[in-house]
Structure 1
Amino acid sequence: MKSKGTTLIFLFIGIAGFFSQIGSAKKETGAESFRLDKCIILYDRLNIVYAETGTYLYTSQYLTWADADKYCKGLGLQLATTDTKLKTKVIFEETPDKFKNETARFWTSGSDKGRKPGKFFWSNGNALDQSLWLADQPKNVNDKEPSCITLRKGGLGDCPCSVRRRTVCELLD
């Protein structure tokens, strides 16, 4: 079994490869030229946060929920599952300052896609603990479009899955 450090090194190498494929990073002469100092720079630029509940990557781009899910999976991660009060609080509090404000919203792995509207589940198959909702949530439940769960200051909310939001990806152990 790989340690978290080893997994993160592989994640960095994978992310570097991803960026070089789309032209956002300069191509190195080979994998052996990928040095630790480049890894640290990449780590800082990618908004990766170690927290007591896990390791998270915060995106700066706005994506639909489906695109956010693909993005995280493409990096070997998954949309964050904020299924406890502690994780919900910690993941929002650890949000990099440049993304944090009163209206910040981030996609998580929860949705009612493929289920009866308003029956929310996490990507791990667990039902949403109703106590995690903010006081006025959920409020976008309807038969026209699935709703997905967003992390917000103080708790969780819902939003049509087609809306573009920032994303929190999670590194699984």
Structure 2
Amino acid sequence: MQRTTVLLLLLILATIQAKEEQNNKKEVDCETAKESVERSFQILSISTRQLGQKCREEKRECDKKMREFAKLEEEKKKCDESLKGLDDEVANYASSFDELGGELQKCKQELENVGVGTASPDLEDTKTELERTKGEKETLEAELATEKQEKSELQEKLDDTIREKTTLQVEVNALRENETFWENIVAKQKESKESLQVRLDAEITLKEEITKELSELKEEKIQLQKLAAENLVNYTDMQTQMEQLRKSIDRLENENKNVLTKLAICNELRSEPVVDDDTNEIDNKNMTEKCGRIGRGLELTRTNSGIYYFNHITALPWLSANDYCRARGLELASAESEDEILEVGRVRSLGYHVAFWTAASDRGHAAGQFHWPSGRKVASALWFPGQPDQVSHGREDCAYVYGSKLKDSPCSASFYFACQVPQECIPLLS
């Protein structure tokens, strides 16, 4: 139950961490959006200022053109007045010219009436007056030509003024349209600025909400971490207790196996005389009696290196196999040479199991230093490549034959095993 609670808390913590990471990402996205909005706001502010400045410049230019246009209007009025005055003068000159022409005609008529060669003071006066009138006429004609020329120049100047006025009117209209265009742009920029301001306010509000939610999640995470730490301590204690119980169960199972093995051995030996292994002095008679009962009821196999019993029926741990052999006056096989290893491994061709316990172990020695019961160290040539490897696989203190080489294994593992007849008993069995 507590384990389930701990797993549930760990799952809740993982969910909170994922949500916290999601909120952090959302906050980063919010900051990025805020920065983007602020940059856009700054760009729009700069653009608005630039547009305002350009609009003011256009307006000043328009005002300047309008002043020039008003000045040209005044000059046009003056030209019109001057032309009107010149027209009046020309009319006066024409009227005077007509009057002089009439007087000149009268003078000619009078001359014709008087006749050629007649001289009188009035005639002389008339001639003089005629000459004077001719001079005035020429003067008036010259002045009239000058006035006409001035009138023509003023007309040209007026035409230029009208054309310039038309051009200025077009430019003024264009400036007014441009001013309207920029005013519309400024209005749109203001609307966009207001929209961005609303969006920025919304982003700020969202950020505040996310920050508040993140703070609440952090507090909840801290509380759950405290609760998880407390439950983790309890879970660790439970794991330690379970491990101790598991070790105790393994130990009890091994002891139970040993007891059952010994009980089976005792049941088999009830009908047989008990061999006293604690006797320090054994005479030849006792030796003959002991060796005579070795392997009784067992199927022994004789090889060039010795006499063996191969148990391929019941797989036992190493200690139980050793006890099984000793209870029958035998020993776990000590294949100390390659020939003996081959003799034991060759049993595989008889149809027996491929792996058999041997007497080699590092019990009582440094880890990995395997010895035979005789005290001799196991030769390195007898091992499979990479064996023994208990340094990397834990405590593997016992050795077994696999084919034609040795391998190490935990002594608690169960294998079939090979027992051998003690060397001192082989001659008696011959």
Q: Do both proteins adopt the same fold according to a TM-score greater than 0.5, normalized to the shorter chain?
A: yes
- 1:10 aligned partner: 293
| Pairwise CA RMSD | 2.4
| Aligned residue in 1 for 2:372 | 122
2:395 maps to 145
**Match for residue 412 of structure 2 among 130, 143, 162:** 162
| One-letter code aligned to 1:130 | S
Could you say what secondary structure the match of 1:106 adopts?
Answer: strand
Matched, 1:108 2:391: no
Unmatched 5+ residue regions in structure 1? 14-41
Question: Is structure 2 residue 383 aligned with structure 1 residue 133?
Answer: yes
C-alpha distance in 2, partners of 1:107/1:96?
17
Give the match's secondary structure for 1:61: strand
Aligned partners of 1:51 and 1:94 also within 8 Å = no
- Greater fraction of residues in helix: 2
- Alpha-carbon distance change, 142 to 47 in structure 1, aligned in 2, over 3 angstroms: farther
Which of 299, 302, 326 is the aligned partner of 1:50? 302
Instruction: Provide Cα deviations, 1:61-102, integer angstroms capped at 9, x if missing partner.
Output: 1111111111111000110001101100011113572314xx
**Greater relative contact order: 1 or 2 (C-alpha under 8 angstroms, separation 6 or more)?**
1
Query: Partner letter of residue 73 of structure 1?
Result: R
Query: Partner letter of residue 85 of structure 1?
Result: E
TM-score where L is the length of structure 1? 0.70
- Looking at structure 1, the residues matched to 346 and 393 of structure 2 have their Cα atoms a distance apart, in angstroms, of 33
**Contact 1:49–1:94 (CA under 8 A) maintained in structure 2:** no
Residues 145 and 117 of structure 1: is their aligned pair in 2 closer, same or farther, counting only changes over 3 Å? same
Alignment deviations for residues 98-142 of structure 1 (CA, whole Å, 9 cap, x no partner)? 314xxx211101001122110100111111111100113112347
Q: Which position in structure 2 is the counterpart of 1:87?
A: 340
- Does the CA-based 8 Å contact 1:53-1:87 persist in structure 2? yes
1:147 touches 1:161 (CA, 8 Å); kept in 2?
Answer: yes
Q: State the 4+ residue runs in structure 1 displaced beyond 3 angstroms.
A: 5-9, 141-146
Which amino acid is the alignment partner of residue 11 of structure 1? I
Alpha-carbon deviation of 1:47?
3.8
Output aligned runs, 1:21-100, within 5 Å: 42=297, 46-59=298-311, 60-95=313-348, 97-100=350-353
> What is the CA–CA distance in structure 2 between the aligned matches of 1:126 and 1:142, rounded to whole Å?
25
Distance of 1:93 and 1:123 partners within structure 2: 23
**How many percent identity over aligned positions?**
26
Normalised TM-score (structure 2): 0.30
1:94, 1:6 → 2: CA distance? Answer: 29
Going from structure 1 to structure 2, the CA distance change for 1:117 and 1:96 (only over 3 Å counts) comes to same
User: Kindly tell me: are residues 9 and 95 of structure 1, through their superposed partners in 2, closer, same or farther at Cα, counting changes over 3 Å?
Assistant: farther
SS in 2 for 1:107: strand
- Bigger share in strand: 1
Q: Report the Cα distance in structure 2 between the residues aligned to 1:98 and 1:147, rounded to whole angstroms.
A: 28
Which residue identity is paired with 1:131? A
Structure 2 counterpart SS, 1:62: strand
Letter in 2 for 1:80: A
Larger Rg: 2
3-state SS in 2 of match to 1:166: strand
What 5-or-longer segments of structure 2 have no aligned partner? 1-283, 425-430
State the Cα distance separating 1:145 from its structure 2 match. 3.2
Q: What CA distance in whole angstroms lies between the structure 2 residues aligned with 1:134 and 1:6? A: 40
Q: Distance in 2 between matches of 1:54 and 1:82?
A: 10
C-alpha separation in 2, matches of 1:171 and 1:55 = 6
